[in-house]
């Protein structure tokens, strides 16, 4: 489970970096842009003012989302994730019953999804059924024929 903890920590670190960057823009750069636009005169016809206000609204929403997401991810204790069933952080081995081909999937947070195909560690993204019993065969749609967990 050490890999999953490291991946989760890296994700939280990346989100914290984005949060710091956006907070700086929100607190320093946007007020400066709004002030410059106000100094130009009539705000009703100022495209720069409207653009800055729109960006300010977007930043406010994104900062709130990032704060909540960091809190959610920081509260996950991966050592408490069940080892006998598929859950967040699990690595799942699927075998095509017809061809015997095996594929490996890792269940990750949405922010970690790589939509370009294989993940850097060779696993693929996909959706698995919710809470299957250990050893139970369960059909899975992963962009190919049905597969069953091994």
79-133 pLDDT per residue, tens = 787 778 887 778 888 888 889 899 888 888 888 876 555 444 444 445 544 555 5
- Quick check: helix, strand or coil at residue 132? coil
| Continuous segment of H or E residues that includes residue 66 | helix 47-75
Beta-carbon count within 10 A of 105 CB: 22
Helix, strand, coil share (%) of the chain residues, nearest 5 = 50, 10, 40
Q: Put residue 133 in one of left, alpha, beta given phi > 0 → left and psi -120 to 50 → alpha.
A: beta
Q: What domains are defined for the chain?
A: 2-79 (1.10.287.180), 81-150 (3.10.50.30)
pTM of the predicted structure, to 2 decimals: 0.64
User: How does pLDDT run across 35-81, given as a tens digit for each residue?
Assistant: 998 888 877 777 889 999 999 999 999 999 999 999 998 888 877 87
């Amino acid at each position: 489970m050490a890999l999953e903890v490291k991946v989760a920590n890296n994700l939280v670190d990346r989100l914290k970096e984005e949060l710091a960057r956006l907070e700086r823009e929100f607190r320093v750069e946007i007020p400066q842009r709004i002030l410059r636009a106000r100094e130009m005169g009539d705000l009703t016809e100022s495209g720069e003012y409207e653009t800055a206000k729109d960006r300010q609204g977007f930043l406010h929403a994104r900062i709130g989302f990032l704060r909540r997401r960091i809190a959610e991810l920081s509260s996950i204790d991966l050592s408490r994730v069940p080892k006998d069933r598929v859950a967040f952080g699990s690595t799942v081995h699927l075998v095509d019953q017809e061809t015997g081909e095996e594929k490996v999937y890792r269940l990750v947070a949405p922010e970690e999804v790589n939509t370009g195909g294989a993940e850097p560690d060779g696993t693929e993204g996909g959706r698995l059924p919710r809470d299957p019993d250990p050893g139970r065969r369960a059909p899975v749609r992963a962009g190919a024929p049905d597969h069953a967990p091994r």
